[in-house]
Structure 1
Amino acid sequence: MDGENLAAAMIENIPARHEGAQAVCVYAVPAPVTGDQVMATLAGTFDPPSFA
C-alpha cells in the first residue's frame, strides 16, 4: 500500500466477517524495494471455496 496510511482495524474487519474467522491480525512487513507490505494472519476454521 505504497503511499497510503490505513488503520489495521479497517483491513482486519474484512476477513473477520467470515464465519470461520476466530482471530485476524494485519501488520506491516518492511520490504526494501517497495516499502512496507501488508500481511495478514488468520486463525479459525476455513473452507477455502467458501472464502472466495
Structure 2
Amino acid sequence: RAGKAGKAVTFLTKEDSATFYELKEVILESPVSVCPPELINHPDAQHKP
C-alpha cells in the first residue's frame, strides 16, 4: 500500500500453522492492525511451535 490507507488480506492454510503464533503477535503489536478472532483463538496460535 506504500503508506496509503487500505486493507491487507492474508490467506492461511493448515500448512501455515507453524506461523500462526508469530503472526498473531505481530498483528497484536501493530497500532493499526486488527487481529481476527479466528487467529487469536486458534490452538496453534497459543504457543510458539
> Normalising by structure 1, what TM-score?
0.29
Between structure 1 and structure 2, the one with the greater Rg is: 1
**Greater fraction helix:** 2
> Normalising by structure 2, what TM-score?
0.30
**Greater fraction strand:** 1
